[in-house]
Structures are given as C-alpha cells and as structure tokens.
Amino acid sequence: MSGFIRPELTQFFRRWREPIAAGVLAVIGAYFLWRGFVRYNSVLEIIGLVLLLIGLALVWTAYRRAQFNRTGRGPGLIEVTERRITYLSSQGGDSVDIAAMTRLEMRSTIEFGRVWVLKQSEGPSLYIPVSAAGSEALFDAFSALPGMETAKLIAALDTTGDQRTVIWRGSPRFRALT
C-alpha cells in the first residue's frame, strides 16, 4: 500500500499539510458563520467568526513556514531545543544560543552547497547546510530573533549564485568583532 501514492505527491502534501489544514479550518469557520446568518443563530455566528479568524491567521503563518521548508537529504541533523540550535554531522557538530547570535547569513560552499552561517558573540560560527535533516525547525528559531523579517529569510532561500547574503544583524552593542 505504500506505493499507492507517488512519492512526489506525498512530499508535496507533507510540505503543505499545515496550510491545507488551516485553510480547511477557515472554510469550516466560514460555513458556520454562513449557517448562523441563515438561521439567525448568534452562537453559530460567533463560533464561525472565531474559527474563520483563527484559520486565516494560521494560513498565513503556515504558508510562510511551508515556503521555508526545503526537503532535502543533506548532511547532518538539526535540533532546536530551549532556544539553542544544535547541528550534528559525521564530522562533529556544534550549537549556538539564539540569544548569543549576532548575525545570520546565507553562503555557498563547495562542500555543502548553500549553508546558513550563524555568527555568535563568543565562539566560532556555525555552518548548517540548508538541506540538512530537521531544517524546518530553523524557521521558528530564526523568527524569534528580534527584528527578523521572515520575507528576507524566505527570499534568501530562493536566491542562487555564490553571493553572501546577510539576512539579520543583532543590535550593535552585542555584535562580535567578526
């Protein structure tokens, strides 16, 4: 039964499952809102309006997260726990506190292709391949950075070439000398 659905279709639905579910919630809310208007039932109207608003808010957030999610089979594993980003690979690994980050960049390397570069106030920079397993957790971690624009974050993923793109800089008082 596992070969019943094409792998490309499975991958598509896996990537876009959150926006689809949020859209279904918004449609259910619109249905309840409409039924409340037709039946002059204010309880159904309130339930429908609440579900519609929650669904629409979730659609936008889930859409951004799905745009960021790039499925790949790159080297390494990413874990985000308690505001700490950890990257593990066969060559070792390292971690960075989100609060200690001073700059976030996107670069191209010969070894891993495109990588996230996480610079911190103390310690070495952390290079994370874009296609590493668990990379979908980075969207929420990067969104927690003060002043982060998610549009710049997603636009950096869509760029091609060998340029170095600075996506986010921390406040000048915490910036490292790198």
pLDDT at position 72, please? 63
> In this structure, are 51 and 94 located in the same domain?
no
Structurally, how many domains does the chain consist of? 2
Q: What is the pLDDT of residues 72-112, one digit of tens each?
A: 677 889 999 988 999 998 888 888 988 889 999 988 877 77
pLDDT at 175: 47
Which stretches of the chain are assigned E, i.e. beta strand?
77-81, 84-89, 92-97, 101-109, 113-120, 126-129, 165-169
Instruction: Say if 41 falls within a structural domain.
Output: yes
Query: Is the domain of 93 the same as that of 118?
Result: yes
Does residue 104 share a domain with residue 167? yes
Amino acid (1-letter code) at residue 8? E
pLDDT at 176 over 50: no
Residue 146 lies in a domain: yes
Whole domain around residue 158: which residue ranges?
A: 77-174
Examine residue 53 and state whether it is found in any structural domain, yes or no: yes
Q: Please give the model's pTM, rounded to 2 decimal places.
A: 0.69
> Do 138 and 50 share a structural domain?
no
1 inside domain:
no
